Amino acid sequence: MKGQVAIATDGRRSIGRVEFIALMALLMSVAALSVDLMLPAMGAIREEFGLEADSTAVAGLVTSYILGLALSQLVYGILADRYGRKPLIYAGLAIYLIGATASVFAPSLGFLLFARFIWGLGAAGPRVLTLSIVRDTHEGSEMAKLMSFILAVFILIPAIAPSIGAVLTDWISWRGTFGFAVVVTLLVGVWSLRLPETLRPEHRREIGIRSVIESAKLVVTNRVTAMLTLGLSVLFGAFISYIASSELIFTDVFDSADTFPLIFGGVALVMGVGMLANSWLVGRFGLATLIDATVVGYVIAATLLAVLAVSTDGKPGLWAFVVGLALLVLFQSLLIPNLNTVAMIPMGAVAGIASAIIGTVSTGLAALIGAFIDRLFDGTVTPLSIAFAFASWLTFLSVRLARIRDVASGSTPEGAERLDATFRTPAVIRPEEA
């Protein structure tokens, strides 16, 4: 299956491997593009709507988008298992374009916040269903390898998007950044017409409310899944706050507006390297061992960054802060996919719906946590640094309470070894876990 990768179930010819990787990466990237592209434009948005230069109100453009992204994941997951992947991809892209176009012509900040929420509702479609298509067409190590290639292409988007956004804001306006997203998404949508439908007719499932309710009960009542979902929520919440406030921090606190796109892109690349390295690290050390080591490293790095922030009155040296931030992002890039994987171990009987529920709950809570942290901004990096520290300790506690080494077989060392052995393959995010 080296030359062709997608099994055509609708009578159409499969597309080539290189084209498949590129298209999957771009479909995934439209969600990231919606956030990273607009970060350099936040100052211009404040100015147009008459906000103070240090106003955190525009951070809501990130959190409202993420909230929309969270609330619609489960809907796409359920409907795609019934009606197929392609119709739901097109539906998501259509809603995405409505939200993005409305954002271009937004007459007020309130309207823009609502448009961003609609934008997020649409973005969840290609984000979730791209990974479903990969799952439909590949299994095991082949899927892991393919995901590594897709992520390698995907990483380029958050790295270069802020620079593109800065140029568009300077040459056109902040509305031009949203217009650029509209154009890119239209092109990706047309390209996606070449995709075959990958969900076989015999694999289509009826929509059942009862199965959703039962899956939700399993998620809430299972110790491992519930605790790790909580950990994922606080991890992602702190990260969302960083995304939403990054422009304000580097502009106001460090007076580095010109270099912000490069700094943000560099930190994004660190996260991408972590995601790619995760496959090798899991294979080398085992999932349980890697999680234990990573969460300890995350606690140490986050606590030290908080101490640095407090001891310098919230204004440490730029590069000391950037290095600390890069370390946190690196640890998060290892924790998030691996905690997702372990949270799904007890959910084997209802994996599809349960994983969509986990994604919805963790992303939704993260959006609320991120919005709360944003409101604490006081012209320094202290609130964000302390929030990362709290998130690290809560994640550490959730991992300990989950007792992930007991998942395989009781609390015996042999059980932990079997858990590690079971997952000595690259960790891949399931479609509904994204």
Domain 208-434 has CATH 1.20.1250.20: yes
> Could you tell me where in the chain the CATH 1.20.1250.20 domains are found?
14-206, 208-434
Q: What is the pLDDT along the chain (434 residues), one digit of tens a residue?
A: 444 444 444 445 567 878 888 888 888 888 888 888 888 888 889 888 888 877 778 888 988 998 898 888 888 878 877 788 889 999 999 999 999 999 999 999 999 999 999 999 999 888 878 877 876 776 555 665 666 667 666 667 777 888 888 889 889 889 999 999 999 999 999 998 888 888 777 667 666 677 677 777 877 888 888 899 899 899 988 988 888 888 888 888 898 888 888 888 888 888 878 877 887 787 788 878 889 999 999 999 999 999 999 999 999 999 999 999 999 999 998 888 788 778 877 765 555 567 678 878 888 888 888 888 888 888 899 999 999 999 999 999 999 998 877 663 333 333 344 444 444 433 333 333 33
Q: Rounded to an integer, what distance in angstroms lies between the CA atom of residue 20 and that of residue 1?
A: 12
**CATH superfamily of this structure's domain 14-206:** MFS general substrate transporter like domains (1.20.1250.20)
42 touches 53 (CB < 8 A): no
Q: What is the pLDDT of residue 429?
A: 34
In 3D space, the residue among 425, 317, 300, 328 whose CA is nearest the CA of residue 384 turns out to be 328
Q: What is the pLDDT of residue 352?
A: 57
Lookup result for tokens 């991890």: 235
CA dist., res. 15 & res. 3, Å (int): 9
